[in-house]
Amino acid sequence: MSGPSHVRAKWAVIAGVPLLFAAIAALQVRIDAQTRSEAQEKAEVLLRSGGALKKLSLGYDALLGDIYWTRVVQYYGARAGKDGASFELLWPLLDITTTLDPKLMVAYRFGAIFLSEQGTVGANRPDLAVTLLKRGIAANPDQWRLSGDLGFLYYWRLKDYQSAAAAYLEGSTRPGAAPWLKMMAARVLEKGGSLETSRMLWSELYDSTKEPSMRHRAAQMLRGLKTLEDEQSLDDLAEQYQQRFERYPPSTRELRDAGMIGGIPVDPDGYPYVFGPDGKSGLNPRSTVVVPPDLMTQPAGPE
């Protein structure tokens, strides 16, 4: 194939490269423009599909994937934590990103977090997060961490302990998998959603990631879990105290004086816990510890 048609095709490809980079530059300008309306932004996404862009990329699909991942981060960052924020374009952007570059691990791992987070800090779509991680696992069978992320998602967000254990177990069979995956599969099946299991998972996440925001999140959750465990123990002791003295203890000092504890228990900030009139323990008003809402539904022991 060396005739005039071949030459014309070759020059068409060469001529298309500058146009591609011009389009990329124009897209980045639009990314940086913070005054664009939601309607304009939605139109931009809908006019592009990952499959179509991949065909037009002339081999630069991974580069385009990076650009779209930048767009995902900026889109999420501009909305996270704001009252009334909408994340409806998060999935289309992630879909395009991972279609363009199926090997972009950060898009799967952090994209799943963005999709599954609740309240004002995420899209509250764990179902789409599952879809994204399964896509990543299929495209990257050597990446055991994606199976670990899927197990965590099933465990923490969906409370589906059977599926969580299956994901951990499946991940344990992948090349170079960490030994804790198989252990966690057995643990989740045995203990379900116990605080102890949650603490193990968040501890593992804290120890295994170097990403500052995720380490901070894990540290917060571990502080919250410690607080919940302490409060549950104190609530039990308060009930025992009430049975003995026909009243609830006004403070943890009373428990100590009654010989029920050896000292004054304090929260992760170092403040003593307090009791309400109903015998339920809580944090000192001066404490900065925050128990995230997703911890409040964690049961004390095996289901």
* Vertex 59: Cα angle to 56 and 64 (nearest 5): 70
pTM above 0.85, yes or no: no
Q: Which residues contact 3 (CB under 8 A, 6 or more apart)?
A: none
**Domain ranges across the chain:** 17-140, 231-290
Residues in the chain predicted with pLDDT less than 70, given as ranges, are 1-59, 293-303
Check if the beta carbon of residue 44 is closer than 8 Å to that of residue 30. Answer: yes
Q: Which residues contact 218 (CB under 8 A, 6 or more apart)?
A: 202, 203, 205, 206, 209
What pLDDT does 302 receive?
Answer: 31
What pLDDT does 10 receive?
Answer: 45
Residue pLDDT, tens place only, 125-162? 999 999 999 999 999 999 999 999 999 999 999 999 99
What pLDDT does 42 receive?
Answer: 59
